[in-house]
C-alpha cells in the first residue's frame, strides 16, 4: 500500500518553490513571510502597523548548548571538508603571497586595490550559521485554540473565493517552521493576544511533517498585564546573513516605500559589535489603503476543476441559483440565457450536484465563449498614489517625483490596477535605471530581467523624449501591480511575465504618464537654469560694461565742455554730472546690477505664476495626526489627503 504524500512533506521536499533554495535565501524568505503576515494582521483591524524584526546570530557553540550537544575536538582532520594537505596549503600560501605582492605594487602606483578574496578552504561546507528570527507586531493576534493548526498544519483552508493577498503560496510562517524542523530541529515559539483579552497565549510547537499535524510542546495562557495585542513569532533556522544581507535590507527599504503608513524597526545582533545593524523606517503618514475584500469568481476565469470544487462547496440546490450566487456578473436574466444555450438536457431547476462530467465541460466551454461584463476593481486595494509618492520621497529623497494610478483593467477575468512612480535624483540611487517592482504591495527582488516592468522600462520607454538621460540621470522606476491573481512566472513566483498584453500595455502607459509629468517639471527647471545662466553672464560683464560706458561719457563730457559738440538738454545734464563726478563708475556698476536683478526678478515671477508657485520658498512638511479616535472623511489627491473630522 502506498501512502499519499502530505502537503507538509511535499513542501519539505520541494522547498525551493516556496523560496527556500539555500540557507541565505531561507533567511530572506523567513523575514519576508513574517513581515508580510504582521502587516496583514495589523491592517485587518485598521491598526497602523508597528513591526519589529530581529535577527540574532547564534554561533555554533551556543547553538550546540541550546540543543544539549557537547562540542568535541576533531580526531580525524582528514575526514573534514575543510582539511588541507601540506602540499595544498603550500600552494595556497604561495598564491596569497603573489596576490599581496601585486596589491602592494598597485598601491605604490596609486591604483585601486581590490580586497583579497577569502580562500574557499577557510570555511567548510558543514560550518553552518544559525539565526534566531523574531517578529513582533501590533496586529489582531490569534485565537488561543487556533494557534497550533495555524502554524502546524499546511494548507488547512478550504475556501475558494478570490482576494488580493500578499502571500504567494499561503504558507506564511509554516514554511519557516518546516525549514526550522529540517535545519535545526528546534520548535517555533508564538506569543499572541487579541484586543480586549486579559491573557496572552503562548505556544511552543513543531510540525509532524509526515502526518501534517502540529506537535505541541507547550500551549498555555499567561497574564497580559500590558494589555498588548498582536503576535510575536520566534524561530531558529540555519541561514547566511553575509550573502543575503543586502537583499534583506533592500527588502525592508522597499517595503517602507510601498507602506509608508507602517513603522519598521530592523535589528541584526551579533557577538561581533561591528556587525550589528539597527535601522528604523519611520512612519510618514497615517492614511492606510482599504482592506481587500473577497469576491466571487468571474465566469471567464474558471477552469473545469474549479467548477467542480465550487459545485462541491456550494449550498445552492439548483443550477439557476448556483450560477447567480457563485459567480460575479451573472444575474437572473443572463443565467436563464446561459442555461438555454447549454442545451435541452439543462434546466434552471436541475440539481447542481447531479451534473455529469460532460455537462460540467459544456458549462466551462460556454463560460469561455460567452460575453460577460468585466469584473469590478472595487475588491482591490492598491497602495494609492498619495502613499506611493510619500514612500518614494521618504526613502529616496529625489529631486523630483511623479506618480500615477491607473483605473481597473482586466486580464483573463481577473481585475488588476497598475500604479507607477518615476523619480529623478535622490539618496543612495545609482546612475541609470533603478527598477523597483511590487506585486500586491510586496517587493519583488529576484529574476528581474524577465519581468514585464524591467522589459518595459528598458525597451519600450523613449526616455530622451521626456528630457531624461537613461544612462546619466539617477532614475527610479516604481511599478506596483495589484490583482486577485498575480500572473507570476517560474516556480519561485519572483517575477511577472511579459506575455500578458493587457498588463504590459498598462505598465507602459503608467510609466509614460509619470514621464509626461516629469517632462513638464524638467523643462521648467531647464528654463529657470537658463535664466540663471543669463543672469550670471550679464553680471560677469557688468564691470567691463560700466567702465566702457563711463569712458565714453567722459569723452562726451569733454567735447560738451569745450563746445566742440552740443547735446540736447537731457543728455547735457547727464554729461555735467559726469564732469562734476556725480556719476561715477561705481554709479554705473550699481545701476546695471539693479537692472539685471530687476529683469531676473520679473522673469522669475513670470515663471512662478505659470507654475502656480508662490514667491516664498517651499518645503515638504508632515503634520502629525491628532490624538484620539474620531469620525472623519478622507479626500484623496495625488499629492495630499485632506482629512475632515466630524
CATH number, domain of 517, equals: 3.30.230.10
Report whether 282 belongs to an annotated binding site: no
Report whether 173 belongs to an annotated binding site: yes
Report whether 155 belongs to an annotated binding site: no
Single out the residue of 15, 33, 241 nearest to residue 128, CA to CA.
241
Report whether 205 belongs to an annotated binding site: no
Which of 523, 552, 576 is where one domain is finished? 523
**Position 622 in a domain:** no
Does pLDDT of 266 surpass 60?
yes
Paired strand residues for 489: 495
Mean pLDDT of 500-508: 92
Which of 523, 540, 560 is where one domain is finished? 523
CA distance 640 to 261: 14
The predicted-structure confidence for 64-103, as pLDDT tens digits, reads as follows: 877 777 777 777 777 877 777 878 888 888 888 888 888 7
Does pLDDT of 9 surpass 60?
yes
How does residue 254 score in pLDDT terms, banded at 50, 70 and 90? Answer: very high
Same-domain status, 465 and 505: yes
- Alpha carbon separation from 626 to 46, 623, 646 (Å, rounded): 17, 9, 13
Report whether 240 belongs to an annotated binding site: no
The predicted-structure confidence for 404-427, as pLDDT tens digits, reads as follows: 998 888 888 888 999 999 999 988
Does pLDDT of 105 surpass 60?
yes
Task: Supply the mean pLDDT for the chain.
Answer: 83
Least confident of 265-269, 506-510, 526-530: 526-530
How does residue 217 score in pLDDT terms, banded at 50, 70 and 90? Answer: very high
**Position 210 in a domain:** yes
**Position 578 in a domain:** yes
3-state secondary structure 417-458: EEEEEEEECCCCCCCEEEEEEEECCEEECCCCCCCHHHHHHH
List, as one string, the DSSP characters of 31-65.
HHHHHHHHHHHHHHTTPPPEEEEEEEEE-HHHHHH
The CATH number linked to 327 is 1.10.8.50
**Position 273 in a domain:** yes
CA distance 391 to 264: 13
Mean pLDDT of 219-235: 92
Same-domain status, 515 and 533: no
How does residue 510 score in pLDDT terms, banded at 50, 70 and 90? Answer: very high
Least confident of 2-6, 170-174, 461-465: 2-6
Same-domain status, 270 and 210: yes
Does pLDDT of 529 surpass 80?
no
Least confident of 224-238, 489-503, 525-539: 525-539
Q: In total, how many domains does the chain have?
A: 4
Which of 523, 543, 576 is where one domain is finished? 523
Does pLDDT of 220 surpass 90?
yes
pLDDT at residue 118 in the model: 47
Same-domain status, 586 and 602: yes
Neighbours of 187 (CB within 10 A): 24
Report whether 346 belongs to an annotated binding site: no
CA distance 609 to 606: 5
Full residue range of the structural domain in which residue 529 is found: 524-611
Same-domain status, 579 and 593: yes
Report whether 170 belongs to an annotated binding site: yes
Same-domain status, 250 and 360: no
Same-domain status, 500 and 533: no
Report whether 464 belongs to an annotated binding site: no
Same-domain status, 177 and 235: yes
Same-domain status, 330 and 454: no
**Position 468 in a domain:** yes
Same-domain status, 601 and 491: no
Single out the residue of 77, 71, 33, 79 nearest to residue 53, CA to CA.
33
Mean pLDDT of 140-153: 90
Neighbours of 585 (CB within 10 A): 15
pTM: 0.76
How does residue 255 score in pLDDT terms, banded at 50, 70 and 90? Answer: very high
Name which residue leads in pLDDT, 568 or 20: 20
How does residue 463 score in pLDDT terms, banded at 50, 70 and 90? Answer: very high
Report whether 609 belongs to an annotated binding site: no
| Distance linking the first and last C-alpha atoms of the chain | 69
Name which residue leads in pLDDT, 563 or 596: 596
Same-domain status, 20 and 132: yes
pLDDT at residue 122 in the model: 45
Report whether 167 belongs to an annotated binding site: yes
Mean pLDDT of 607-634: 53
Does pLDDT of 599 surpass 90?
no
Q: Containing H/E element for 230?
A: strand 230-239
Report whether 174 belongs to an annotated binding site: yes
Amino acid at each position: 500500500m502506498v501512502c499519499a504524500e502530505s502537503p507538509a512533506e511535499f513542501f519539505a521536499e520541494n522547498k525551493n518553490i516556496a523560496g527556500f533554495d539555500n540557507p541565505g535565501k531561507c533567511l530572506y524568505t523567513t523575514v519576508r513571510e513574517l513581515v508580510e503576515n504582521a502587516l496583514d494582521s495589523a491592517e485587518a483591524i485598521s491598526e497602523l502597523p508597528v513591526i519589529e524584526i530581529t535577527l540574532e546570530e547564534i554561533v555554533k557553540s551556543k547553538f550546540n548548548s541550546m540543543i544539549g550537544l557537547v562540542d568535541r575536538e576533531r580526531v580525524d582532520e582528514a575526514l573534514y571538508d575543510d582539511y588541507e594537505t601540506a602540499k595544498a596549503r603550500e600552494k595556497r600560501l604561495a598564491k596569497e603571497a603573489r596576490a599581496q605582492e601585486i596589491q602592494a605594487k598597485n598601491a605604490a602606483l596609486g591604483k585601486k586595490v581590490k580586497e583579497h578574496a577569502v580562500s574557499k578552504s577557510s570555511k567548510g561546507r558543514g560550518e553552518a550559521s544559525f539565526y534566531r528570527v523574531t517578529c513582533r507586531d501590533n496586529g489582531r493576534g490569534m485565537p488561543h485554540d487556533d494557534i497550533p493548526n495555524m502554524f502546524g498544519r499546511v494548507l488547512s483552508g478550504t475556501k475558494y473565493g478570490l482576494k488580493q493577498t500578499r502571500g504567494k503560496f499561503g504558507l506564511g510562517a509554516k514554511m519557516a517552521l518546516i525549514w526550522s524542523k529540517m535545519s535545526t530541529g528546534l520548535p517555533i515559539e508564538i506569543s499572541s493576544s487579541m484586543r480586549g483579552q486579559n491573557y496572552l497565549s503562548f505556544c511552543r510547537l513543531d510540525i509532524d511533517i509526515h502526518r501534517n499535524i502540529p506537535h505541541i510542546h507547550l500551549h498555555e495562557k499567561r497574564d497580559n498585564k500590558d494589555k498588548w495585542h498582536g503576535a510575536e513569532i520566534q524561530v531558529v533556522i540555519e541561514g547566511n546573513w553575509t550573502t543575503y544581507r543586502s537583499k534583506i535590507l533592500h527588502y525592508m527599504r522597499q517595503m517602507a516605500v510601498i507602506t509608508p503608513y507602517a513603522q519598521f524597526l530592523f535589528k541584526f545582533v551579533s557577538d561581533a559589535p561591528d556587525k550589528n545593524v539597527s535601522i528604523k523606517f519611520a512612519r510618514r503618514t497615517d492614511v492606510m489603503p482599504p482592506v481587500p475584500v473577497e469576491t466571487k469568481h468571474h465566469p471567464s476565469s474558471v477552469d473545469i476543476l474549479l467548477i467542480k470544487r465550487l459545485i462541491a462547496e456550494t449550498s445552492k440546490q439548483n443550477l439557476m441559483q448556483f450560477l447567480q450566487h457563485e459567480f460575479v456578473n451573472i444575474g437572473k436574466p443572463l443565467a436563464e440565457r446561459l442555461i438555454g444555450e447549454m442545451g435541452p438536457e439543462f434546466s434552471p431547476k436541475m440539481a447542481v450536484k447531479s451534473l455529469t462530467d460532460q455537462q460540467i465541460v459544456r458549462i466551462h466551454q460556454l463560460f469561455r465563449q460567452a460575453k460577460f461584463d468585466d469584473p469590478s476593481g472595487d475588491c482591490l486595494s492598491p497602495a494609492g498614489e498619495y502613499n506611493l509618492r510619500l514612500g518614494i520621497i521618504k526613502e529616496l529623497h529625489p529631486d523630483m517625483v511623479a506618480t500615477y494610478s491607473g483605473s481597473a483593467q482586466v486580464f483573463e477575468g481577473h481585475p488588476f490596477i497598475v500604479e507607477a512612480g518615476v523619480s529623478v535624483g535622490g539618496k543612495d540611487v545609482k546612475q541609470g535605471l533603478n527598477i523597483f517592482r511590487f506585486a500586491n504591495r510586496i517587493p519583488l527582488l529576484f529574476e528581474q530581467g524577465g519581468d514585464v516592468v524591467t522589459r518595459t522600462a528598458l525597451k519600450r520607454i523613449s526616455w530622451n523624449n521626456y528630457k531624461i538621460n537613461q544612462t546619466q540621470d539617477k532614475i527610479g522606476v516604481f511599478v506596483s501591480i495589484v490583482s486577485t491573481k498575480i500572473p507570476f512566472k517560474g516556480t519561485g513566483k519572483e517575477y511577472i511575465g511579459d506575455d500578458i498584453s493587457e498588463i504590459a500595455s498598462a505598465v507602459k502607459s503608467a510609466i509614460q504618464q509619470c514621464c509626461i509629468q516629469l517632462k513638464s517639471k524638467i523643462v521648467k527647471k531647464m528654463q529657470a537654469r537658463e535664466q540663471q545662466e543669463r543672469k550670471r553672464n550679464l553680471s560677469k560683464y557688468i564691470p567691463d560694461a560700466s567702465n566702457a560706458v563711463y569712458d565714453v561719457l567722459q569723452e562726451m563730457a569733454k567735447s560738451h565742455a569745450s563746445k566742440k559738440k552740443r547735446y540736447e538738454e537731457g543728455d547735457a545734464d547727464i554729461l555735467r554730472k559726469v564732469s562734476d563726478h556725480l556719476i561715477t563708475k561705481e554709479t554705473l556698476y550699481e545701476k546695471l546690477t539693479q537692472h539685471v536683478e530687476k529683469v531676473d526678478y520679473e522673469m522669475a515671477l513670470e515663471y512662478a505664476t505659470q507654475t502656480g508657485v508662490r514667491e516664498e520658498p517651499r518645503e515638504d512638511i508632515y503634520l502629525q495626526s491628532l490624538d484620539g479616535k474620531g469620525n472623519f472623511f478622507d479626500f484623496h489627491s495625488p499629492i495630499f489627503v485632506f482629512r475632515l473630522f466630524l
